[in-house]
Amino acid sequence: DLGKLADRLHYKAYAVGGFVRDLLLRRPNLDIDIVVEGDGIEFAKEFAASHGIRARCHKKFNTAVLIFSDKLKVDVASARFEYYQYPAALPIVEFSSLKMDLYRRDFTINTLALTLNPDDFGQLIDFFGGQRDLKDKIIRVLHNLSFVEDPTRIMRAIRFEQRFNFKIGKQTATLMKNAVRMGLIQKLGGRRFFHEIDLILMEENPVPAVRRMDEYGVLGLLASGMRFDTRMEELFNRIRNMISWYRLSFLDEPLEGSWVYFLGLLSGLHRNDLEKVWNRLEMTENQRERMLWTYGQVESLLRGFFQLPEHRPSDIYRTLQPFKPEELLFMMARTEREEVRKAISHYFHRYRRVRTELKGKDLKAMGVPPGPIYRIILDELIDAHLNGEVKSLQDEWGYLK
């Protein structure tokens, strides 16, 4: 349908970039990017109108998003020529053709295009040798100034190399090292830098990519003390296990795995290095406070609470309740002690969802005057549940009496 509409508007339309790459690699990818040689916004509006879906348009960038569903969105861009004001700046946009559009992309493997117009539907267009590099498993930039134009590509190269188990080309690797040495990463805004790190930590296995970041000197730029040594690697592997365990056990629950790794990555830093990283990445006040709180609490629990010989379930519940799952997974990975992991696992599986049968309205019906006392009574009932002292509604009544 996209191709037919393109024909009708006398445009050419192409699927491009990561979608085509993943198609050839036989990897699933529902992020479809389309480039039209023509007015992408008009194209998107017409398509949306005739298919009863929504289109979100960005006039400034001449792009639009077709929203088929929550999961399936199609990005539409107008083939355009971009030039950069100065290194590490955002691009300024002007009109031009497909080849120019593909030329401004990061790596050859992301420059493949498939024609969507019905006459030559599915024809693969390869201006820059992307097919060969896919076959040879090589990450290669299109020209020598690529990393100068956009230093985030340094992190993107590492991410794709590890995700696909490819190799960064020799010339590209040299350009990357030069770019790091020339201080181009320092020109990157904190938010973009943080976002790239986050993307790496969101990979299925970020361990080899973080090791590569260290090898290319990117980690050292965050804080001089930051190294991906064997201790850190072991911590990362434990975090990975904890995250897989959690995701398998609680399939539908959201979890920000990258934050667990990030807590791990910064966990060995002294306060002044930590502050340097926070400032460099322009982290929010909230993130800083939460991180500091987590480190402090985790250490004090491991040295205090978890040294006690025995814990009632209600004590574990009350102690762990203030933590987010990400923070508890960090604690599980941080400790070497099996019994601590077990306690946290019990909290996740058994304790955290315990609820009372009696509710506030029942207390009211019993004639208890409303007030803070309700919280106290219901909390006691929860504790009694956790410790196995009550099991049913009847038990709860009995307990209250």
- What residues make contact with ligand ATP under the rule CB under 6 A? 17-18, 31, 33, 105-106, 110, 150, 152-153, 156
Closest residue to ligand ATP, judged by C-beta, is 18
The smaller minimum CB distance to ligand ATP, of residues 9 and 173, is found at 173
Question: Is residue 76 a contact partner of residue 36, using CB atoms and an 8 Å limit?
Answer: yes
Min CB(40)–ligand ATP separation in Å: 14
- β-strands 54-58, 63-67: how paired? antiparallel
Min CB(108)–ligand ATP separation in Å: 10
Min CB(149)–ligand ATP separation in Å: 8
Min CB(102)–ligand ATP separation in Å: 8
The smaller minimum CB distance to ligand ATP, of residues 62 and 152, is found at 152
The smaller minimum CB distance to ligand ATP, of residues 65 and 368, is found at 65
Min CB(27)–ligand ATP separation in Å: 9
The smaller minimum CB distance to ligand ATP, of residues 206 and 313, is found at 206
Question: Using CA of residue 366, residue 370, residue 373, residue 374, what is the dihedral sign?
Answer: positive
Phi then psi dihedrals of residue 7, to 5 deg: -55, -45
The smaller minimum CB distance to ligand ATP, of residues 188 and 382, is found at 188
Within 10 angstroms of residue 49's Cβ, the number of other Cβ atoms is 10
Min CB(22)–ligand ATP separation in Å: 7
The smaller minimum CB distance to ligand ATP, of residues 162 and 356, is found at 162
Radius of gyration of the chain (CA): 27
DSSP track, 126-144:
-SSSHHHHHHHTEE-BSST
The smaller minimum CB distance to ligand ATP, of residues 18 and 38, is found at 18
DSSP track, 100-118:
HHHHTSSBGGG--EEE-SG
**Torsion from C-alpha of 318, 319, 325, 329, nearest 10 degrees:** -150
Min CB(196)–ligand ATP separation in Å: 9
Question: Is residue 173 a contact partner of residue 107, using CB atoms and an 8 Å limit?
Answer: no
Which residue in 39, 41, 43, 44 sits closest to 54, CA to CA? 44
